[in-house]
């Protein structure tokens, strides 16, 4: 009886061993499939180069008369305002209107339009450009009004710079006094003094074109009122020397 029992147990143990080995084989095969195989491909690194920002150039608005507008210059690039803006690295916005002043207005003969407002009335247009720099130049067209009502001219000059400073508190303000193609007289000196005082009151830089007179006789055009390229260059050099 015992011998028969051993014979029957042997096949059972063999089957158990076969089942264990089969399971082990399947487990090892599954493990091999589940384990990720490292890629033999080399991925190129993506290098992100930051884009360098181009510094923004300051915007400079120029207010004034025909000299600012560029009358007498052979090209806009030769007018004194453009020469100054170019050398200082400013983007120029030229709002010059011939025949105008702090109180003086103009028309077709002066500015080429039916009506051109005074410099004081153009403050809003300058502020609208949100400039970094505002250059206000002129006053020679106010010489005649000054003889009739000096207080009105004085008030308009002061109001122009007060409005600019109030509405553009962070802007750089530059006041360029009047010029003259004639000998410097008492009226020219008085208007120039008003510009100097108004500029000082609001912390604006002041540039005199009368001390000494920047306009040389040889640069004056036949109309007696304007200057050529050399005259514009002389004004630009005076402003650049006074405004670092």
- d(CA 102, CA 64) in angstroms, rounded, equals 8
- Calculate the CA dihedral of residues 89, 95, 100, 106 and round it to 10 degrees: 150
Question: Residue 1 — very low, low, confident or very high, per pLDDT cuts 50/70/90?
Answer: very low
Confirm if 100 and 138 have CB atoms less than 8 A apart.
yes
pLDDT of residue 12: 47
Categorize the per-residue pLDDT at 52 as very low, low, confident or very high, splitting at 50, 70 and 90: low
Q: Is the pLDDT of residue 30 over 50?
A: no
**Percent of the chain topping pLDDT 70:** 78
Which residues are registered as beta bridge partners of 205?
174
Average pLDDT, the chain: 87
Residue 122 has pLDDT above 70, yes or no: yes
Phi/psi at 37 (nearest 5 deg)? -90, 125
Structure tokens at 20: 């264990």
CA distance 205 to 232: 20
Give me the pLDDT at residue 130, please.
98
For the ranges 20-24, 160-164, 217-221, which has the lowest average pLDDT?
20-24
pLDDT at 19 over 80: no
Looking at 11-20, 65-74, 109-118, which range is the least confident one? 11-20
Residues 136-190 have pLDDT tens digits of 999 999 999 999 999 999 999 999 999 999 999 999 999 999 999 999 999 999 9
pLDDT at 55: 75
Distance of CA 242 to the CA centre of its chain: 21
Give the residue carrying structure tokens 């109030």.
166
Radius of gyration of the chain (CA): 41
- CA separation for the pair 65, 99 (Å, rounded): 6
Q: Which residues, 6 or more positions from 60, have their beta carbon under 8 angstroms from its beta carbon?
A: 85, 88, 90, 91, 92, 93, 131, 132, 133, 134, 135
Report angle CA 71, 76, 82 to the nearest 5 degrees.
105
Please tell me whether residue 154 adopts helix, strand or coil conformation. Answer: helix
Give residue-wise pLDDT tens across range 66-111.
999 999 999 999 999 999 999 999 999 999 999 999 999 999 999 9
What the block records as the tokens of 82 is 């453009």
Residue range 37-66: mean pLDDT, rounded = 71
CA angle 142–144–147, rounded 5-degree value = 105
Query: Is residue 60 within 8 Å of residue 134, measured between CB atoms?
Result: yes
Question: 155 and 145 in contact (C-beta within 8 Å)?
Answer: no
Low-confidence winner among 25-29, 109-113, 123-127 (lowest mean pLDDT) = 25-29
Half-sphere exposure (Cβ direction) of 2: Cα atoms closer than 13 Å:
0
Q: What is the pLDDT of residue 31?
A: 53
- Whether the pLDDT of residue 227 is over 60: the answer is yes
């Amino acid at each position: 009886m015992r011998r028969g029992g051993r014979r029957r147990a042997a096949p059972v143990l063999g089957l158990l061993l076969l089942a264990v080995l089969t399971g082990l084989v399947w487990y090892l095969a599954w493990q091999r499939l589940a384990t990720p195989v490292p890629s033999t491909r080399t991925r190129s690194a993506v290098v992100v180069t930051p884009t360098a920002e181009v510094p923004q150039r300051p915007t400079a608005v120029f207010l004034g008369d025909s000299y600012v507008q560029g009358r007498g210059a052979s090209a806009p690039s030769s007018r004194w305002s453009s020469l100054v803006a170019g050398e200082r690295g400013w983007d120029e916005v030229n709002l010059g209107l011939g025949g105008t002043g702090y109180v003086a207005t103009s028309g077709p003969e002066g500015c080429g339009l039916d009506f051109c407002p005074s410099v004081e009335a153009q403050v809003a247009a300058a502020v609208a450009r949100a400039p970094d720099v505002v250059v206000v130049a002129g006053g020679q067209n106010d010489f005649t009004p000054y003889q009739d009502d000096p207080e009105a001219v004085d008030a308009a000059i002061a109001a122009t710079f007060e409005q600019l400073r109030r509405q553009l508190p962070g802007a750089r303000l530059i006041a360029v006094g009047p010029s003259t193609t004639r000998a410097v007289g008492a009226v020219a000196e008085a208007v120039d003094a008003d510009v100097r005082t108004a500029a000082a009151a609001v912390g604006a830089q002041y540039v005199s074109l009368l001390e000494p007179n920047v306009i040389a006789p040889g640069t004056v055009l036949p109309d007696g009122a304007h200057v050529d390229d050399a005259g514009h260059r002389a004004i630009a050099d005076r402003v650049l020397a006074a405004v670092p």
